[in-house]
Structure 1
Amino acid sequence: MTGRVPLRQLAALAGIILLAVWLFPALGLVLVVMTGALVLAALLGLAHEHGLTAPLARRLPMANDILDRFTNRQALESLVGAAQTSELIDAAALAETLRAKVIGQDQVITDVTLTIRRRLAMERREKPVGVFCFAGPPGVGKTELGKQLASALGRGFQFHDMSTCSRPEGAATLFGSPKGYMGSDSYGQLTAGLRDQPASLVLLDEFEKASPEIMRRFLTAWNDGFVTEGSDGRKIATSRAIFVLTTNAASDRISDLAREITDADQLAAASKAALREAGFPPEVLSRIDQVFSFRPLVGLDVARVAIVQIVRLVEDYGLTVADGVGEEGIDAELLFDAMQRNDETPSTGGVRDIVRAIERQISEVLIEARAAGAGKVRLTGRRSDSGDLIAGVERVG
């Protein structure tokens, strides 16, 4: 009890203060506050005397962020902000890294890396690093370049298929659901990703297929520098993110332009005009910082891409493809057939559809080979009596 006023004395003092309030109304507010403070102090003292304050403190939620409790948050945020205002990269080294990963798009890679370098060097940024459009036929490396760019820059990578967001209801998947709606107990895929990795590269595949409502939400994210999470209304910053829209719209026209125009700025302007004529939303086009036009794969580049995808396919089944001089892990007949079919239908599914057709023929054999203990295989190709190519698998090791 030492150092603490007994409850009876506090009650008497509170009574005196209330009497003073009645006699002197001008002092009312001050005296009422004093009374409340004294009563609260008495109650806390009594709770502490009976050992109730420690359990109560454990049950109370943390009022402040842990940063506020243990460090100078403002100073830390200033240091982080200063480090994030600009980022200098070696465009030539970045381009070299990307060319080793993405086949047949050397000019696009050069243009992309120079643009990214300029955008990252900006010291004041309240909007995304950039909003870019990768345009061209399917299967030419648009998504792959996005993935490899994120990896080379050390950024997180988000992939969102906009063909699944053709209705307004798809907004909940990306931005979260308002309170009271199904799914409101968790964040949207986009907002959660940017919350956890603010510097992500966000790839929006086939953006032209998104609903107008979802497009408007993205325009807000790009113009205002944040996106609002539906479940709790939190504003998630987009100022450190890179947004890449991919589109197959006007792919034939853009392929022709990419072959005809060598100047990057002229090609971007012509491609943007082609997208506008094809019905791409003008309000989105006006917000895109740069359009990059991908060229159709031709010649041996088709075979190179086919090899990359076939090797990944086989690895997905837990096996490896024989490689090295004299190994011939993939029959040349298979690759030549892929080249011919790509030339016949360059603007459909690209090399990916060709590899999927190969997978349908060999998937069961790959499963059996792995079950039999195989580690390394060779893919073969032979012609049927009707002239169709039949893919097969041989065990090598």
Structure 2
Amino acid sequence: MTRFFNVLNRFLAPAAAILAVVALWRLIASIRFSAVRDGWIALSHRQEVIYGISLIALLLWIVVLLGWIHSKRTLGATQGNKIMDILDRLTNRQALEARLQQDANSEIIDATALADALKSKVIGQDHVCDDISAQIRRRLALQQRGKPIGVFLFCGHPGTGKTYLAKQLALQCRRKLLHFDMTQFARGSGGSMLFGTPKGYVGSDSYGKLTAGLRDTPNAIVLLDEFEKAHPDVHTNFLTAWNDGFITEASDGRQISTTRAIFIITTNAGMEALDELQSRLENEAEELRKVSTNVLLENGIAPEVLSRIDRIFIFRRLHGLDVARVTALEIEAMIGSYGLLVREGGIDPEVLWKFMETQEKLAAHGSSRDLVRSIEESIADSLIEQKQAGQTSISLLYKDQKIIAVAGS
């Protein structure tokens, strides 16, 4: 359409301009030399025809000019908006989204199989694995949803498996994980990184990380790690996502659906008090959830946030052999990252004991990241040496106050 108006404007503009000049010149001439009868300028028939044609040409040119301006603005909006979804331009995106939503309304999963898969990877949190698997099964089976599949809050000490469970849940459910470290959004302006920047500000030519992620993968699992450390204004931006089933992209005002997403929030708030409640009310799940809400309120989690949480899960602190199990899994993963295998029974118990002692010293301040860092510092060089020697399978021994990797047998 823009090309059509361009062609018309190219030919009509000069013609209309020439006729307008001729008509104006003839009109001036007629005023100067024509007889004036009864206050009116007497025009010849030929002059009337010229003026009529000129008027029609001018009107037609004005119409074409307005059409050309409108088409240029439309094209400019399409080309200038770099973040426009191609579906908005080439099809009826809303109809396609509605069809997709209709097809995805109900899904039945095997909660027992999901729980077993999670428990095989996440150590010491069997109660959480069972509960969240049952919750997800019930919510996925719903025919109609106007909110996310679930908004779950994971509470507990660092290193208890909160983040790891979210990652394993995404893996087992075959959903993309959108992972956000909320400590990066301690300022109110940090929300623009998640939800986009309004027009007129720097950065408004691209979507926010969260809105873009849910636009492209609406059934993602959204992990909001250490949520309590984000600015309250950032918290507020999530309320419509959890309550109304959409979030708004600030750059273009588009509403992004959250009805197929699962939100998982982790927090370390109120750890000691929650530990005490966990041990005292272990067999009273409903009472535990009720009183844990009060603890979280006292530790800075806003009531409007808690009111939108579907389920609160309290992670137990790991003790004894559970710490050893987590350590063994992390060591196996570290060895695998160097392209090596650990032979069966190849980790000296003394190795695990030393790492357990290190974690015990860190107590509540220790996290899984600290454990991974400690393992890497202790065994990485020895693993590299075995790799260079052409080994594929190794064992770990504790010898002369240090951990060494040796060729497996």
Query: Please, what TM-score do these two structures have when normalized by structure 2?
Result: 0.75
1:214-266 deviation per Cα after TM superposition (whole angstroms, max 9, x unaligned): 11111132223211223322221111111110011111222232223223222
* Greater Rg over alpha carbons, structure: 2
Give the Cα–Cα distance (whole angstroms) in 1 for the partners of residues 249 and 368 of structure 2.
Answer: 38
Q: 1:331 aligns with which of 348, 372, 376?
A: 348
Structure 2 contact 335–342 (Cα < 8 Å) conserved: no
- Write out aligned runs for 1:141-152 (5 A): 141-152=161-172
The residue that corresponds to 2:331 in the other structure is 310
Shift of 1:141: 0.9
Q: Does 1:365 align with 2:382?
A: yes
Distance 1:114 1:60, change over 3 A: closer
Shift of 1:340: 3.5
The residue that corresponds to 1:103 in the other structure is 123
Amino acid at match of 2:333: R
Shift of 1:297: 1.2
SS in 1 for 2:135: helix
Structure 1 contact 250–275 (Cα < 8 Å) conserved: yes
Structure 2 contact 152–265 (Cα < 8 Å) conserved: yes
The residue that corresponds to 2:277 in the other structure is 257
The residue that corresponds to 1:393 in the other structure is 405
Amino acid at match of 2:241: A
Identity of aligned residues (%): 48
SS in 1 for 2:346: coil
Shift of 1:128: 1.2
Give the Cα–Cα distance (whole angstroms) in 2 for the partners of residues 278 and 72 of structure 1.
Answer: 47
Distance 1:74 1:247, change over 3 A: closer
- Write out aligned runs for 1:108-257 (5 A): 108-257=128-277
1:150-181 deviation per Cα after TM superposition (whole angstroms, max 9, x unaligned): 12222111110011111123222212223343
Give the Cα–Cα distance (whole angstroms) in 2 for the partners of residues 78 and 251 of structure 1.
Answer: 43
Q: 1:268 aligns with which of 289, 308, 311?
A: 289
1:188-209 deviation per Cα after TM superposition (whole angstroms, max 9, x unaligned): 2111110110011101000000
SS in 1 for 2:207: coil
Shift of 1:71: 8.4
Distance 1:377 1:200, change over 3 A: same
Shift of 1:354: 3.0
Q: 2:299 aligns with which of 252, 258, 278?
A: 278
Amino acid at match of 2:393: K
Structure 2 contact 346–408 (Cα < 8 Å) conserved: no
The residue that corresponds to 2:111 in the other structure is 91
SS in 1 for 2:143: coil
The residue that corresponds to 1:355 in the other structure is 372
Give the Cα–Cα distance (whole angstroms) in 2 for the partners of residues 69 and 171 of structure 1.
Answer: 28
The residue that corresponds to 1:376 in the other structure is 393
Across the two proteins, how many residue pairs are aligned to each other?
Answer: 351
Shift of 1:360: 1.5
Distance 1:155 1:330, change over 3 A: same
Distance 1:321 1:346, change over 3 A: farther
Structure 1 contact 342–351 (Cα < 8 Å) conserved: no
Amino acid at match of 1:393: A
SS in 1 for 2:252: coil
Give the Cα–Cα distance (whole angstroms) in 2 for the partners of residues 395 and 188 of structure 1.
Answer: 49
Distance 1:311 1:184, change over 3 A: farther
Distance 1:281 1:223, change over 3 A: same
Give the Cα–Cα distance (whole angstroms) in 2 for the partners of residues 321 and 271 of structure 1.
Answer: 43
The residue that corresponds to 1:287 in the other structure is 308
Distance 1:192 1:72, change over 3 A: closer
Structure 1 contact 306–351 (Cα < 8 Å) conserved: no
Q: For structure 1, which runs of at least 5 residues remain unmatched after alignment?
A: 1-6, 12-31, 45-57, 385-389
Structure 2 contact 343–408 (Cα < 8 Å) conserved: no
Shift of 1:61: 6.3
Structure 2 contact 196–211 (Cα < 8 Å) conserved: yes
The residue that corresponds to 2:29 in the other structure is none
Give the Cα–Cα distance (whole angstroms) in 1 for the partners of residues 385 and 259 of structure 2.
Answer: 50
The residue that corresponds to 1:28 in the other structure is none
Give the Cα–Cα distance (whole angstroms) in 2 for the partners of residues 343 and 59 of structure 1.
Answer: 62
1:9-33 deviation per Cα after TM superposition (whole angstroms, max 9, x unaligned): xx9xxxxxxxxxxxxxxxxxxxx9x
The residue that corresponds to 1:24 in the other structure is none
Aligned residues: CA RMSD? 3.6
Shift of 1:373: 3.4
Q: For structure 2, which runs of at least 5 residues remain unmatched after alignment?
A: 1-11, 17-55, 69-74
SS in 2 for 1:391: strand
Give the Cα–Cα distance (whole angstroms) in 2 for the partners of residues 300 and 375 of structure 1.
Answer: 28
- Write out aligned runs for 1:5-44 (5 A): none
Give the Cα–Cα distance (whole angstroms) in 2 for the partners of residues 68 and 189 of structure 1.
Answer: 20
